[in-house]
Every structure is written in structure tokens, then in C-alpha cells.
């Protein structure tokens, strides 16, 4: 058993507490990782808020991390002690019907136990003050050591800077893949990206790499426009600057609508606007943002009858074990940006400040 520091969420809506926790050794087909760097994501904040129907407390949150394998359980063959790795919230077992189907990346092998906050055998590897602490998204990267299933881990280039590539565990991969895998953006196309946070910027990057000729960024926070343009946005607009609905504004700007739109906020009203901003006959709108539990999307069926397509994406459609190492290689060869997404680097005990910076849009 390793004793180390972790940020524990004891209950919903309260700040995280830095505590000493005990991390049990890995069981069969499990891997214990020394986490070197982790990022914070809105998904962590969503669960912490209490709005997540799958949220269990007390829990160690975090799902964008990178580290070094400390030890492996019985039967683990893909990684060994000392390997550099990224934990994966969407695993890839290679055996279930989802993994065998090229159309999806949603491996279901450990989905049920992962959603309940436990390891595949139904138990937790974390304890604190004599209490069992739940796992989060199969990763729990807000701990100096964590234990993950051996199908929830990608071995990456040992030379990669972990304080940067940890972002490939969720946000950047999700946005980039939404453009290149889910939408399959084509050269010369026109795109609209709703929400210019980390995921939205990654979508813009993907659209640019795919050869889009026009990329319109949409956000009410104008402080985000300069960064969006650095990533490839050709122009940025705010829905608050016009009395007309944003979908009408976009249709006028683009002679009938965009070829591809992306919703990167998790707001069902914006999801509708993003669909309706698409061009009749061929427009494709991709939902990337995660809406709160129980919310529903709506539009007039005529929008779809007249040739628009509504799609969704999780982790950008990447088969995780196969593709995360390739994304690291793309970053190392400067094909994709990663460093530019990092705005602040804080010590672990300032993790609550990181959440405040995220909420304030900084």
C-alpha cells in the first residue's frame, strides 16, 4: 500500500481537500501509476457540482493525466514498471463488439463498474481516514498514485513532456477528433464552433488541419477571440451582438449556413442553434458538449428532412489505446498544438484555484 496525497471530493458542491490517502496495490489486470501531471476539465466540475447522476462521493476526481507505471498486477502484458502512460476514461479492450466495430470507440467492457466508481471487480483501491473513496471515470488523476484497469491505459513516447500531453487524455483529443473523425471536415469547407474553451479551440485546430477555408468562432466572452484566431479561427462573433438568433446571423454570413458546426458547451439551446446554422442539403452538426442530466434537445424535424445531419462524439471518436500514442507522436512532430492550450501551471495543493480559473473563463 502506498500513502500519498490526493484531492478528495468529500461531498458535492464543496472544495476539494488535499488528504493523505492509501492506494492499494494493483490486482489482476490492473496497473498502478505515479501521476506526474493532471489537468482540470469541466467534466470534473460537473460531477463535483452534484448535477451528475452517476456522481458518487467521496471520490477522487480527475481524468486528464499522465504518469509513470509504478507496478502492474497479475496478467498485465501491455505495460511494465517505468513505462510512460496516459490513463484513458474510454478504454479499449479490443474484444467487445464495440471495439471490433470500426464505427465506434465506445468500449463497453468495464462501463458499468466504471460508472459506479469502482474497479472491474467491484471494489475501490483508495481509502482515506478509514473510509472507502470512489474512483472517477476509471482514472482518478487527482492523486499522486492511482490504479486503473490495464485496458484503460495508453503507453506513450517516454520523451513526451507529461505536463503537456496529459491534455490528450480528454479535451484536445475530443475537439480535434470531433473535426477530423466525427464530422470529417473537408478542404475548403466553412465551419462554426460554438464555445471557445479548450475543446472548442481543439475543434478549430482540427478544422484548420482538415483544410477548412472559413472557421467562425462563437462565444459571449470576447477575451477568447485572440486565442481562437491563433488556433485558426478566421473570425469570431458574439450572439449578444445581434438581435437576430445566432443561426440566422450565421446563415446570412455564409450564404445559407455552414457546412459543419460544433457545439462545445453542453447547452441544449446552443445545440439547436448549431444544427439550424448548418446549410440545407448537407450541413452536419456535431454535439461535443455534455448537457446536464435529464435535458433534451429539440428542433423541427423539417431541419433534418431537408438534409441536415445531427451527430454526437465522445473522446473525438478515437479508439483510445491505438490512437492516444499516435496523437502524442503528432504533437512531438508539431502537427498538432498542445503547449498553446496551457494557460496556468499550479502546484497540486492549489487545485481549487485551478477550478476557479476554469469557471472564470481564464
| Domain, as residue range, for 217 | 174-313
Task: Give yes or no: residues 229 and 301 share one domain.
Answer: yes
Task: Give yes or no: residues 79 and 224 share one domain.
Answer: no
What per-residue confidence (pLDDT) applies to 338? 97
Please give the grid coordinates belonging to residue 320.
483510445
Residue 60 and residue 114 in contact, taking contact as beta carbons nearer than 8 Å: no
Residue 34 and residue 70 in contact, taking contact as beta carbons nearer than 8 Å: yes
What is the pTM (predicted TM-score) of this model? Answer: 0.96
Rounded (10°) angle between helices 42-49 and 351-359: 100
**Structural domain count, the chain:** 2
Task: Give yes or no: residues 163 and 191 share one domain.
Answer: no
What per-residue confidence (pLDDT) applies to 51? 86
Task: Give yes or no: residues 82 and 151 share one domain.
Answer: yes
Task: Give yes or no: residues 145 and 199 share one domain.
Answer: no
Closest listed residue to residue 321, CA positions, set 187, 197, 138, 161: 138
Residue 115: how many other CB atoms lie within 10 Å: 13
Task: Give yes or no: residues 351 and 298 share one domain.
Answer: no
Domain boundary residue among 294, 313, 332?
A: 313
Task: Give yes or no: residues 332 and 294 share one domain.
Answer: no
- From the CA atom positions of the chain, what is the Rg in Å? 20
Task: Give yes or no: residues 275 and 351 share one domain.
Answer: no
Work out the burial of residue 256: count CB atoms within 10 Å of its CB; fewer than 13 is exposed, 13-18 middle, 19 or more buried.
middle
Fill in the DSSP letter of residue 183. Answer: I
Task: Give yes or no: residues 117 and 184 share one domain.
Answer: no
The CATH number linked to 87 is 3.90.180.10
Cα–Cα distance for residue pair 50/47, rounded to 1 Å: 6
Task: Give yes or no: residues 289 and 340 share one domain.
Answer: no
Residue 140: how many other CB atoms lie within 10 Å: 32
Provide the Cα torsion 351, 82, 107, 286; round to 10°. Answer: 50
Closest listed residue to residue 160, CA positions, set 63, 39, 66: 66
- pLDDT tens per residue across all 362 residues of the chain: 999 999 999 999 999 999 999 999 999 999 999 999 999 999 999 999 998 888 999 999 999 999 999 999 999 999 999 999 999 999 999 999 999 999 999 999 999 999 999 999 999 999 999 999 999 999 999 999 999 999 999 999 999 999 999 999 999 999 999 999 999 999 999 999 999 999 999 999 999 999 999 999 999 999 999 999 999 999 999 999 999 999 999 999 999 999 999 999 999 999 999 999 999 999 999 999 998 888 999 999 999 999 999 999 999 999 999 999 999 999 999 999 999 999 999 999 999 999 999 999 88
Task: Give yes or no: residues 148 and 24 share one domain.
Answer: yes
Task: Give yes or no: residues 294 and 327 share one domain.
Answer: no
Amino acid at each position: 500500500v502506498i500513502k500519498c496525497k490526493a484531492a478528495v471530493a468529500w461531498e458535492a458542491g464543496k472544495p476539494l481537500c488535499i488528504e493523505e490517502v492509501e492506494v492499494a496495490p494493483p490486482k489482476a489486470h490492473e496497473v498502478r501509476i505515479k501521476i506526474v501531471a493532471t489537468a482540470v476539465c469541466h467534466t470534473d466540475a460537473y460531477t463535483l457540482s452534484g448535477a451528475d447522476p452517476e456522481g458518487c462521493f467521496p471520490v477522487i476526481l480527475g481524468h486528464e493525466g499522465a504518469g509513470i507505471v509504478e507496478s502492474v498486477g497479475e496478467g498485465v502484458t501491455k505495460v511494465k514498471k517505468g513505462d510512460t502512460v496516459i490513463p484513458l476514461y474510454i478504454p479499449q479492450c479490443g474484444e467487445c463488439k464495440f471495439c471490433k466495430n470500426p464505427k465506434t470507440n465506445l468500449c463497453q467492457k468495464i462501463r458499468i463498474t466504471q460508472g459506479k466508481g469502482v474497479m472491474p471487480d467491484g471494489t475501490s483501491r483508495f481509502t482515506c481516514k478509514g473510509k472507502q473513496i470512489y474512483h472517477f471515470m476509471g482514472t482518478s488523476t487527482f492523486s499522486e498514485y492511482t490504479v486503473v484497469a490495464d485496458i484503460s491505459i495508453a503507453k506513450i513516447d517516454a520523451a513526451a513532456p507529461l505536463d503537456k500531453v496529459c491534455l490528450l487524455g480528454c479535451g484536445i483529443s475530443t475537439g480535434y477528433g470531433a473535426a477530423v473523425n466525427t464530422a470529417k471536415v473537408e478542404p475548403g469547407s466553412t465551419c462554426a464552433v460554438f464555445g471557445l474553451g479548450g475543446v472548442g479551440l481543439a475543434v478549430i485546430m482540427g478544422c484548420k488541419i482538415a483544410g477548412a477555408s472559413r472557421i467562425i468562432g462563437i462565444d459571449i466572452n470576447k477575451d477568447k477571440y485572440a486565442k481562437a484566431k491563433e488556433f485558426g479561427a478566421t473570425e469570431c462573433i458574439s450572439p449578444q451582438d445581434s438581435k437576430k438568433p445566432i443561426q440566422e446571423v450565421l446563415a446570412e454570413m455564409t450564404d445559407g449556413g455552414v457546412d459543419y458546426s460544433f457545439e462545445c458547451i453542453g447547452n441544449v439551446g446552443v445545440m439547436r442553434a448549431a444544427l439550424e446554422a448548418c446549410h440545407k442539403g448537407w450541413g452536419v452538426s456535431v454535439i461535443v458538449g455534455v448537457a446536464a442530466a435529464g435535458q433534451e434537445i429539440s428542433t423541427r424535424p423539417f431541419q433534418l428532412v431537408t438534409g441536415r445531419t445531427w451527430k454526437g462524439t465522445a473522446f473525438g471518436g478515437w479508439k483510445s489505446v491505438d490512437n492516444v500514442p499516435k496523437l502524442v507522436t503528432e504533437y512531438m512532430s508539431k502537427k498538432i498544438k498542445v503547449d498553446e492550450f496551457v494557460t496556468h501551471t499550479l502546484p497540486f495543493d492549489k487545485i481549487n484555484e485551478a477550478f476557479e480559473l476554469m469557471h472564470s473563463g481564464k
